[in-house]
Amino acid sequence: MVPVDDIDPRYQTWNIGTDVSLRRMSEWAGYKQLNGLEIVSSVLRDTPECWEEVLDMVSILRNNFRLTVGKSCGFHIHVSKVTGPILLHLMRKVSVLMYLYIPVDKVVDCRTLGIMKKLWTAETLQRLKLFITPSMGSKSCLGLSKCYSFDEFDEGSEDKCRGTVEFRYLEGALDPELILRWSQLMVSLFQFADLASPQAWQNFVPAILQCPVLGKMDPNVLRVFLVSLGKGDDHGFWINRIEIMSNLPLDAQQLARRPADNNEILPPLDNGYIDALRDELCTREMKLPCTIQKAATLNESESSTDPDDFAKLLSEKACFFFFYD
């Protein structure tokens, strides 16, 4: 490993360790002990090589360890920019995108619209954090605990931030396809917030607001959402995922910290399955439609840069790393 400046040594290589939120459990399902582990990736970029690295590491874990996923397990991804600081307004836009769930029959509800307005107009990062996690230690699908304003480091700017935005999947998973598709979707969401033009937002937001009932996803709205983020090919996967989750029975052990004794030991992954995921997901083109349009506009007016190459360059200006516990 060659150390990289400005990156915490803990995040310069993959590592497996413990965490204060994890514990050992004695006499589980015929085993002497069940150990809770935290798996943390190195800092990665939105490139085929890095997505293959994710796939390879999940495969190594599945094929070399006895693993089970309990109800208390979680998966989350931290996303940031490769170059330059993160502007506070980008944090506002990411927050609004994650909480943009206002159903049509609630549009006139001033309380619901009020929080969206507060997110969009938050004057400081601390205020934005307070709106997202109003109580200490609380967790949600979006976290800004690892993002800090330059002002906190006495560098005199509340409009510029450093660190990462955390997207929490809340459901633990060591399914490589789910990890890849969901992580790529979150990276694309961050890139859309960063790079999309006002016109792209004007097209995107009304489409998402068409979902008629809170908690139920219209397949056509889902398709528009995915296409806008360059993930239209994932529509079938997410429709199937929604159906599976919707049909799960209520579980009295849902909040239990200790996995049930009949909890599945995850089976090894077939090499053919891994190769198929590598070809389908790791090496696929991942360009936001809005960046392709922006690149084409710049190409016509300013330079001879190929629009596809420029869009790829914009897309790769995001880094991420994983936490799994």
Tell me the two tokens of residue 17. Answer: 């360790």
CB 31 within 8 A of CB 228: no
Give me the pLDDT at residue 231, please: 95
Give me the pLDDT at residue 256, please: 63
Give me the pLDDT at residue 187, please: 94
Distance CA 275, CA 148 (A): 39
| 93 closest CA partner among 165, 145, 185 | 165
Helix (H, G, I), strand (E, B) or coil at 116: helix
Per the listing, tokens 């006895």 go with 66
User: What digits encode the pLDDT tens for the residues 91-108?
Assistant: 999 988 887 654 444 444
| 52 closest CA partner among 180, 169, 147, 235 | 180
User: Looking at this protein, which amino acid is placed at residue 81?
Assistant: K
Residue 151 per-residue DSSP state: G
User: What digits encode the pLDDT tens for the residues 141-164?
Assistant: 888 988 888 765 555 567 888 889
Give me the pLDDT at residue 301, please: 44
- Predicted confidence (pLDDT) at residue 43 exceeds the cutoff of 80: yes
User: What digits encode the pLDDT tens for the residues 258-312?
Assistant: 777 778 899 999 999 999 999 999 999 888 888 766 555 544 444 444 545 544 5
Give me the pLDDT at residue 117, please: 82
Residue 279 per-residue DSSP state: I
Give me the pLDDT at residue 270, please: 96
Give me the pLDDT at residue 64, please: 95
Q: Which residue has the higher pLDDT, 224 or 170?
A: 224
Give me the pLDDT at residue 183, please: 94
